[in-house]
Copies of this chain bind each other. A is one copy, B any other.
Amino acid sequence: MTAAEKRSAKWKARRDEIVDTSATVFARQGYHATGIAELCEVNGFGKGAFYYYIGSKEELLAAIHDRVMDEVIAGADRVLASGGTPPEQLAMHGEELLDVISRYPDHVWVFLHEFPALTGERADQFRTRRRAYEARIEEVLRAGVAGGDFRDVDVWLTARAWLGMHNYTYLWLRAGGRMSARDAAAPFADIFLHGIARA
């Protein structure tokens, strides 16, 4: 590791810290309602330092979105690699998604609320990634219907029901709270799998 790389790694680590603390502030009071000055105060430095790490306020918002989508897609990849049956995979998708929400509740709050503040190419990028994740859920449902585990539901609509049920936990689910991701995911899977099981 060269000297330049060491400097870069330290810079990146500090930048990640700023992204994380900013997510917390954004989640409490909103993206547009939070000024750069307040982010500096929370992080304990001035504007000069802030712009040394962050290119712009919107770039900061994009970094928060990245954290969420990276984690969510990684979880979905693990499900795909597991090779379970459609009911097993759907339950596992729930565990993975709630795990991300419980570990990054503030980032997820920002992700679900402040997407419209992203513009141009950045907005397109996250729209595409989100759709790709939703398509994974639809794929599992389609496989379950084809294989006879699930009855002949409207796959698109059923995916939205599943996504809503799970995403909505961002309002209360967090690591260290009274209910773990796994504790919530199990009854959710129970409801949903019984709900669409072949009669």
Chain A residues engaging chain B, CB cutoff 8 angstroms: 28-33, 113-114, 116-117, 153-154, 157-158, 160-169, 171-172, 179, 184, 187-188, 190-197
Q: Given A164-B164, A167-B168, A168-B163 in contact, is the A187-B154 Cβ separation under 8 Å?
A: yes
Copies of the polypeptide in the assembly: 2
Q: Given A117-B30, A192-B191 in contact, is the A169-B164 Cβ separation under 8 Å?
A: yes
Please determine whether B172 and A188 come into contact, CB atoms closer than 8 angstroms.
Answer: no
Q: Given A33-B116, A187-B153, A195-B191 in contact, is the A160-B169 Cβ separation under 8 Å?
A: yes
Cα distance A137–B158 when bound, in Å?
Answer: 21
Given contacts A28-B116, A160-B172, A194-B196, 13 further A-B contacts (CB under 8 A): A30-B114, A31-B32, A32-B33, A33-B116, A157-B184, A163-B168, A164-B166, A165-B168, A168-B168, A191-B196, A193-B195, A194-B194, A194-B195
Select from chain B the residue with minimum beta-carbon distance to A191: B195
Cα distance A91–B108 when bound, in Å?
Answer: 30
Cα distance A116–B190 when bound, in Å?
Answer: 33
A-B pairs with the 4 shortest C-beta distances?
A164-B168, A32-B32, A195-B195, A191-B195
Pull 15 A–B residue pairs with CB atoms less than 8 Å apart, ordered by A. Answer: A154-B187, A157-B179, A157-B187, A160-B168, A160-B171, A160-B172, A161-B188, A161-B191, A163-B168, A164-B164, A164-B166, A164-B168, A167-B168, A191-B195, A194-B195
Select from chain B the residue with minimum beta-carbon distance to A26: B116
Cβ–Cβ < 8 Å partners of A161 in chain B: 165, 168, 187-188, 191
Q: Given A29-B116, A194-B195 in contact, is the A158-B187 Cβ separation under 8 Å?
A: yes
Cβ–Cβ < 8 Å partners of A31 in chain B: 32
> Which of B165, B187, B197 is in CB contact (< 8 Å) with A165?
B165
Cβ–Cβ < 8 Å partners of A114 in chain B: 30
Cα distance A193–B162 when bound, in Å?
Answer: 14
